[in-house]
Structures are given as C-alpha cells and as structure tokens.
Amino acid sequence: MVEVLEAEAGRLGHTSAEAEQLLRTHGANQLVLHRPVRLSSTVGRQLSDAVVLVLLVAAGITAAMRDWPDTAVIALVILLNTALGSAQELRSARAIAALAELTAPRAAVIRDGAVHDLPAGQVVPGDLIELRAGDIVPADARMLAGPSLSLDEAMLTGESVPRAAGAGEQIFAGTVAVRGHGRAVVTATGRATALGGIAGALSGQAPVRTPLQRQLAGLGHRLAIGAAGAAAAVALLNVLVGHGFETSLLLGLSLAVAAIPESLPAVVTLSLALAAHRMTARGVLARNLAAVEALGSVTVLACDKTGTLTEGRMAVAELWTPSDGVAARRSLLQAAVLCNDACVDGRPAVTDDPVEVALVVAARAEGLDPATVRAAAPRIAEIPFDAEAAMMSTTHVLADGCTVSYLKGSPEALLPQLSSSDETAVGAAIARFTETGHRLLAVASRAGTRARLLGLIALTDPVRPAAAAMIAGFRRAGVRPVMITGDHPLTATAVARAVGIARSDSDRTVLAADSEQQPAVEAAVYARTRPHQKTAIVSGLRDRSAIVAMTGDGVNDAPALRAADLGVAMGRGTEVAKQAADVVLTDDDLGSMVLGIGEGRRVADNIDRFLRYALSGGVAEVLVMLLGPAIGITIPLQAGQILWVNLLTHGLPGVAMGTEQAAPDVLTRGPRPAGQPLLTRPMLRQLAVLATGIAAVSLVAGRLVDSAPQSAIFLCLIVAQLSVGLALRPVRLTRLAGNLPITSAVLLNLGLALAALYWHPLQLLLRTEPLGPTALLLAAAGGLAIGLLARGIGSNSPDTERKDR
C-alpha cells in the first residue's frame, strides 16, 4: 500500500478528503497521545498526599473513640482540601495541555497541489512533504528524486556527522535537516515510526524535577520533620498533664497538619499556570511551567541582531562592482539570482531565505526577469549554503554549452579565494558599507580555474522602531543585554549603538574567536560568531554566575539555546530552534520578554509571600499549643478547632495568593539571586517575629476571656493570620479590592469563623462557645494588631528585602 501511496503522492500529494480518511485510519501523528485528565485519578492522587493520609489516620482514631464531632470536622477538611486540590490540578493540567498544543511542531505538506503549513500531528502516510535546512522531519519518509538532503540523526544513531539522503533513501521522524532541501513521501507516522518505538520504551520514565520542585521538596521534608517533632512534643505534654493517650495523639496529629503549608503545591502550580497564560496572551509562550520561574531570575540577555533587534526585512541598499556601468550591475544581479534558491515564479515561499528574496526583488527592479535568467542557464550542480564555510555555490550550463559556477557568501570567506585587480577599492567599499551597519554579500564567478569577483551587495535590515526602548526596559529590570551575531564587527557595533546595547567605548565589541576559551563578560557585542562559539560564549557567561537567556531562530542556534539557562526562540524561527527553546516569542517581539520577566518575578514574590503567611501561622499554632499549659490554659484548642483554623487560613486565602498582583517595582529592581534558598535569613527573622506575635496575642486573648478561652484563641488565630495575609499584599490597605480572589476569600472565611462561634450546628461540631461583645472585640483587635505589625516590619515586601541584600 505504501508504494501505491508514494506513486500517487509523488505527483501532487493527497487531496484533503484522502488525508482526512487516512488520519481516521492511522490516527494522529503523535508519539504521546494526550489522554483527557480523569477526575478519578486526580482525586486519588489528592487522597494519597502525605497530609491527607495524616488526616485519614486522625479520622480513624476519632471514629474509634466515637468522637463524632471531631470525626465530622476532619472529614469535612479532607473533603474540602481534596476538592480544592483536584480543581487546581485539573485546571493546571488543562493549561499545560493547551500550551503543548501551541508548541507542537509543524510541517510543509503538499495537498491538493499546493503547499500547506500544517501541525505535524496531521501528517498521514503517503503525504508529500517538503523539507529544508532547519526543519524537523515530521514522520518516517522516503526521499524522492531531486536535490539531496543532509540530516542530523544523532538522536537516533549517536553519530555526530550528518548523513546525506538521496532519492529512494529512508529518513526518520525527529531527525533534523541541516543542509539542502527536497521532497519525501511519508511511510509511517506516530508510534509506527522508528522514534515511536523508542518513545514507547521511555513512556514509563518519570520526568526530571525542576530546581523549584527540588527546593520545594527539600523544604517539605524539613517542615515535615519539624512538624512531627512539634506534634510529638504536644502529644507528650498532654499525656503528662493527665489527658488520655488517644486525645493527646489526636491533638498531635492535628497540629502536625496545621504546621505544614499543604496549600503550597497548589499555590506554586496555580501561580505558574496563570502566569504562563498571561504571557501567552502577550506573545510569550512558555513551553513548560519551569520556564516561567526561570524568566524572573535572568541576569544576562544574549540576543541575536537580525530579526530580533532589527525588522528581519532584508532589502538591497546598494551595489558595488569593480567596474562601472549597467552591464556590470546586471551581471552581478544575474549571478545573485542563479546562485539562489528563492522562488521566482510567484510569491516567495514561507521557507525562502529573506536575503535571497531581496536579491530576486533587486533583480526585478533592475529590469531583469529572474525566471528567464534561470531558464537561460539551467543549474546542474550545487553546494548548499554551509554555516562553517559561510558560502554556497551553484554550477550552470550556458547557452554556448560552457559551464560556469557562481559563488555567494561573506566577503571574509569568499575574497581569499579570488584574485582582485584592486584590493584597495574592494577594502574601501567593504569598510564604507559595514560602518553604516549594512550586511554584505560577495558574489563571484568561476570558469575553469579562473575566479573573479563580480561585486558586492549591501543589504540593510532596519532597526526595529521600539528596539531602543526595549533594551532600556531590560536594563531597568537589572538584565544586561549582550549581542551575539554572525555579522561583521562594524555592522554589529553600529546596530548595538543604535539600540543602546553599546553605550560607550568601554562597551567592547569582540570577535568570537578571540573569546572562545574565556569569553569577555564585559563585552557588549560578540561578532562573527559560529555555532560552537555561541555555545562557548553562553557557557562562559554562565560560568561567571550569570543566569543567561539566549535568543535565536536558526538550526545553528539550537546548541546555544540548550546551553543557556533559558532558551528563547522566535515564532518565525526554525522548528529546531523552537523545540530546543524553553520560551517561544510568537509575535517575534523581544520586548514581550520584559513582560515575561515581570511575570516570573511576580510568581517568585507570590511564593515568597505565601511562605511568610503560611509558616508564620503554622509556627504560631505550635507555640500556642506548647505554651498554653504554661499560662494555665490546659488545652488551648481542640483537634477540630485546629483543623478548622488551618482550613480557613491555608485553604482559599492561601491559594488566592497565587493570583496576587505584581509589585510596583517588579521591573525596576534586580532579579532574584541565583541559588537563593526559599527561606532566607531575613525571612526567618520576620517569620519568628510574626509567629511570636500571633501566638502572644492569641494566648493573651485566651487568658483574658476566662469564660471561653478556646473560642477566643480560635478567633484571634484566624483574624491574626488573615490580617497578615492582607498585610503581605504589595498594595496599600486602602486598596483591598485590588485582588478580588484574596479579598473574597478573607471575607468568606471571616464569616465562617464567626459562624463557628454563633451558629449552633458548628458550635456542636467544633465545641466552641459564643463570645460576648467585649471578648469578640478583644480577639479581633489582637488579630488586627498583628496585621499592622506585619505591615510595619516591612514583611509585605520581599522585593525590599532583595534590594537590601
């Protein structure tokens, strides 16, 4: 069947109807089929969480003791925590799946006689596909007659040397076209491909955790040990003062649950997922949630010039020929059209090189018909452009039967192979063009052993109007911009000065070859770089403690994108670059990345803020339970009351912190230091002050309200912790409505706290007593005082703390 499909596709490709039928028959061209997220499995994961397991044990103990009120409270907490966690997990999973769809590879497929840019998942057996340098092969296929294609098959074979694939040879999904172009007929898709077999063997492997995930896991381990120690101390203390073992054990378990910020994973995931979606709406597509976190830590931005700082719209600005006259200009442009792969019969193809398109446009402007020029001198051989050689060549048969080769490439690569009659004039022309920021191409002809220069072509790529403001934005955010380009040093320097990367003579431009071993960190521009030099420069910057974001769009940029802390690909770039990157700028606007940096810092601030909030409250509850007996309050809180406090403070308000607004200075301060722990020394000091304050006012309230000490402590703990949550916000207290989720959560939970005191069913469930007006005001005032304390000691601004360091 495949042979029949090949024969049919070899002419015009499938029709749309045929492709739809084959897609139904063979399925999507995907190695991993994204199954819908199931509610049952999500709930199962929530119930297997360590904190929930502790609650289940506690529920079993209370049920065995026939302590039905506490059993009901614990069951309610389990129900609400599981529902909240499941909802957040489902939301995050769907968000990640949506991001994965946006970053799926694409393929140039010929259907109904025309080239269509389609998602690779829609490729079917028998499809006729076009491949050019930079494309990822979307499926296993067989090459058709025509130009050869060189493929990097290292991912399958481990061989570092590209393989040339000619007509009839098999090529494989996932390999990378590095040179040449051609057409092929798809022979296998999805799991039927060679790569699919490998993917099937790897599908059971667990994913690698990000640095943030590892930090959170380490913090969770330490908190679990601390909570277990505190719980054991409380249980032992209660046994020593004469309470039953079961009651003491239940108190200890409840306190262990309260001391652990179990909402932290939900806060982190929600913060990252929401930030990723906000970034997507602004043209910044994070291919994984960890990239959002990394954006906020970037200290150096290594960016390309063409298409990033400039418009990426090439046009011929000027021609220079060794001899004056129209004939010399026409000979130069004829050679540029022949040594050229751009389409000349209609609109340029989306895969055409912009420089080659500009040459065709210039030839037409000179009065030449590019199609006629090519028909008069058919191509019989070619050496495709190679980044290492920095040139390409084609060989043609002329009308008189003679053959001639045309060479096109950088002047540095091409001129040493030629003999020029006036090297001084050539050098002067090169200097004049490069000083004004033009890109230069040299064009030559070779007949037999004689090679001569036909001329120089100066091309311009205008600087983006917003480039200077964009670079200034990075500098204000504490990110140092660096240009890494393959262009001539003078060209690179002219653009760097125009956009503000090079602002003075001290901002040096260096040749990449001079910095390959020890890249000069103080350099503003690295020029004439080759692929391996880009990687060396990025690695050198990282070795000097920089957190590097690298931008790129070509095949040759992929190694440097991988070597950087954060690879950033342009939306117009090759599939290789996009798949190697962590972030894709779908609108090709590097300025959007400034907003992404703000989102990354916003996430870090929200995690920082939640830790201050949750840990100060958890430690305060431990102190209350440990110190209460010492001041005459034998049991400061019942087990159900502890869990209710924990539910109202660590539940919705904690998760809502993940939606908090960015601080006003988020883009005018430096990035988070590399390797900084989640709990810094200044944060620990603030935690100690807040926890001590919360515990102190709660115990004082309980001591002064003799008639209902537990209820007074219960209410004061809730009000104090919610007040701290509001005080930690990066806005004035007069703007509480600025974040509707957290304001709504605080008001709702204050209502539930009062309901626990004054609504009879909850009174019975939680064993609370109503407070009189004086006691109520006392407990509320103590809690509000802690909010003012939190605001006063500056713990509302983790950003200020970062500046101080």
pLDDT for residue 600 is more than 80: yes
Three-class DSSP category at 462: coil
Does any domain span residue 340? yes
**In the block, which residue shows the tokens 């499909």?**
5
Residues 265 and 361 in one domain: no
* Higher pLDDT pick, 733 / 763: 763
Does any domain span residue 223? no
- Quote the CA–CA distance of 484 and 512 in Å, as a whole number: 9
Residues 111 and 71 in one domain: yes
- Quote the CA–CA distance of 180 and 582 in Å, as a whole number: 27
pLDDT of residue 475: 92
How does DSSP assign 339-353, residue by residue? S--S--SSSPPTTS-
Does any domain span residue 209? no
Q: Which are the catalytic amino acids?
A: 304
pLDDT tens digits, one per residue of 667-714: 888 887 766 777 888 888 888 999 999 999 999 999 998 888 999 999
* Number of C-beta neighbours around residue 218 at 10 A: 12
Amino acid at 157: T
Residues 579 and 634 in one domain: no
Q: Report residue 387's pLDDT band, with 50, 70 and 90 as the boundaries.
A: low
- Quote the CA–CA distance of 441 and 463 in Å, as a whole number: 19
CATH of residue 321's domain is: 3.40.1110.10
Average the pLDDT over 388-417 and give the result: 90
- Give the bridge partners for 132, in sequence order: 181
Q: Are 187 and 170 within 8 A, CB to CB?
A: yes
* Higher pLDDT pick, 677 / 511: 677
* Higher pLDDT pick, 333 / 787: 333
Helix axes 592-627, 264-281, angle to 10 degrees: 170
Average the pLDDT over 212-226 and give the result: 68
Average the pLDDT over 710-732 and give the result: 86
Answer with the one of 404, 439, 456 that is the final residue of a domain: 456
What lies within 8 Å, CB to CB, of 258 at 6+ separation is 618, 621, 622, 642, 643, 645, 646
Residue-range definition of the domain harbouring residue 185: 1-199
Closest C-alpha to 286, from 469, 108, 92:
92
E-strand stretches of 704-780? none
Per residue, what are the HEC states of 365-390?
A: HCCCCHHHHHHHCCEEEEEEEECCCC
- Quote the CA–CA distance of 503 and 496 in Å, as a whole number: 8
Highest mean pLDDT: which range of 85-99, 172-186, 573-587, 640-654: 172-186
pLDDT of residue 32: 56
The structural domain count of the chain equals 4
- As a residue count, the chain comes to 805
Pairing of strands 114-119, 509-511: unpaired
Q: Report residue 625's pLDDT band, with 50, 70 and 90 as the boundaries.
A: confident
Does any domain span residue 213? no
Three-class DSSP category at 381: strand
Q: Measured in Å, how far apart are the chain's first and last C-alpha atoms?
A: 69
CATH of residue 104's domain is: 2.70.150.10
Residues 651 and 782 in one domain: yes
Residues 255 and 292 in one domain: no
Helices and strands in the chain, H and E counts: 30, 22
Residues 481 and 429 in one domain: no
Q: Give backbone dihedrals phi and psi of 111, rounded to 5 degrees, phi first.
A: -135, 145
Closest C-alpha to 147, from 170, 108, 181:
181
pLDDT for residue 65 is more than 80: no
* Higher pLDDT pick, 343 / 419: 343
Q: Report residue 527's pLDDT band, with 50, 70 and 90 as the boundaries.
A: confident
Give residue 673's region: left, alpha or beta (phi > 0; psi -120 to 50): beta
Does any domain span residue 670? no
Does any domain span residue 484? yes
* Higher pLDDT pick, 148 / 164: 164
- Quote the CA–CA distance of 543 and 515 in Å, as a whole number: 14
Q: Name the pTM for this structure.
A: 0.66
- Give the bridge partners for 439, in sequence order: 459
Alpha-carbon distances, residue 597 vs 291, 315, 526, 566, 666 (angstroms): 10, 33, 24, 11, 9
Answer with the one of 406, 437, 456 that is the final residue of a domain: 456
Residues 618 and 487 in one domain: no
Q: Give backbone dihedrals phi and psi of 512, rounded to 5 degrees, phi first.
A: -60, -35
Q: Are 738 and 663 within 8 A, CB to CB?
A: no
Does any domain span residue 786? yes
Average the pLDDT over 502-523 and give the result: 60
Average the pLDDT over 113-135 and give the result: 89
CATH of residue 539's domain is: 3.40.50.1000
Closest C-alpha to 640, from 73, 57, 257:
73
Residues 296 and 432 in one domain: no
- Quote the CA–CA distance of 48 and 51 in Å, as a whole number: 8
Q: Are 571 and 543 within 8 A, CB to CB?
A: no
**Radius of gyration, CA atoms only, the chain:** 34
In the chain, what percentage of residues exceed pLDDT 90?
A: 20
Residues 183 and 54 in one domain: yes
Closest C-alpha to 580, from 606, 610, 554:
554
Per residue, what are the HEC states of 689-703?
A: HHHHHHHHHHHHHHH
Residues 49 and 178 in one domain: yes
pLDDT for residue 77 is more than 90: no
- Quote the CA–CA distance of 237 and 243 in Å, as a whole number: 9
Amino acid at 248: S
Does any domain span residue 505? yes
- Quote the CA–CA distance of 758 and 331 in Å, as a whole number: 95
Mark out the alpha helices in 282-341 (DSSP H runs).
Answer: 289-295, 326-338
pLDDT for residue 61 is more than 90: no
* Number of C-beta neighbours around residue 555 at 10 A: 25
Question: What is the residue-averaged pLDDT of the chain?
Answer: 79
Of 86-100, 171-185, 458-472, least confident by mean pLDDT is: 86-100
pLDDT of residue 754: 92
Q: Are 486 and 560 within 8 A, CB to CB?
A: no
CATH of residue 724's domain is: 1.20.1110.10
pLDDT for residue 59 is more than 90: no
Residues 552 and 493 in one domain: yes
Residues 583 and 448 in one domain: no
Closest C-alpha to 319, from 239, 418, 195, 432:
432
Q: Report residue 404's pLDDT band, with 50, 70 and 90 as the boundaries.
A: very high
Of 66-70, 168-172, 293-297, least confident by mean pLDDT is: 66-70
Quick one: tokens of 104?
Answer: 């799926």
Answer with the one of 426, 456, 486 that is the final residue of a domain: 456
